[in-house]
Amino acid sequence: IDPTETTLTITMMISASLSVTLLNSLLYTSSEIDAPLQKLREFQIICMTKLVSCFPWDGRLQATLKNARLSPQSDSILNVCAWKGVECFDGFITKISWWPHSSLLTVNYDWIPPTVQILHIHRAHASPFPFRTKQLPGFLQECWLIGCHLQGEIDLRTLPHKIVVFSVPENGFIGTVHLTHLPKLIRVINFHNNHISEVIVINENLPRTLSSASFSQSSTKVNFVCMDGKMVDMRVNANWYNPYGDWSDEDENGLGPL
């Protein structure tokens, strides 16, 4: 397959089956592909509109942005860099910070643009699709999804390799969390107020950078299992840990990073 032809083709695809991971590889790992920037920006528009569960030509997009107070003041709604809470570098999105009005959004996390490095979303509704860590942008560094109605099991073994903060408090994650193969740079893991039943740990594999992996819960007791010793590393615990002050400015209500 001609890699250049493949690049041009995937930027125009809008099927929900398209993997954002594929574009990650085009942007960051291939030295043979010189994809036209305009085509990548077109794909970015598709990502952002589908992120809020709309389409670029969908009449619902304008109403969705208006209700969530994300509409650009003067630019076209297809200028995604002008959306409220969005920051870009050279025309590509690097940060999305949506609150306090994101409760009016339904977010499809499979469509986070692959250039995003910082993601802050508070109280948004989740699409019915499963939340898959392997679909997160490859260069994502901070992920804060607070009270976003995320459910099901979650696999931390497929987190982006550059992630530093993964904070998903007040969601509905269940089942077993594996702290066995984590990204080497990760410092904070926060599962406060989920429904995790078991955490499996390999102490020897915990990154030196890790400061806290918190699983404090009010309704379900967490069973911690250490695979290479009798005691789980003290950095992994059921205590509430608040990393906000260490990582970003808080909003006026102290709910998290802006």
Q: What is the pLDDT along the chain (258 residues), one digit of tens a residue?
A: 343 443 333 333 333 334 455 455 545 544 444 457 888 899 999 999 999 999 877 789 999 999 999 999 887 999 999 999 999 999 999 999 998 777 889 999 999 999 999 999 999 999 988 999 999 999 999 999 999 999 999 999 999 999 999 999 999 999 999 999 999 999 999 999 999 999 999 999 999 999 999 999 877 899 999 999 889 999 999 886 565 544 444 443 333 444
| Token pair 């954002």 in the structure block, residue | 20
pLDDT at residue 100, rounded to an integer? 75
pLDDT number for residue 242: 63
Chain position carrying tokens 């528009």:
45
Overall pTM surpassing 0.85 (yes/no): no
The Cα-based distances of 246 to 10, 60, 90, 185, 211 in angstroms read 39, 38, 28, 15, 11
Q: How far apart are CA 144 and CA 136, in angstroms?
A: 12
Note every long-range contact of 23-32, with CB atoms under 8 Å and residues 24 or more positions apart, other chains counting. Answer: 23/114, 24/114, 24/137, 24/138, 24/139, 25/138, 27/114, 27/115, 27/138, 28/114, 28/138, 28/139, 30/3, 32/3
What pLDDT shows up at residue 8? 36
Instruction: Please give the Cα distance from 231 to 64 (Å, whole number).
Output: 49
Query: What pLDDT score does 255 carry?
Result: 37
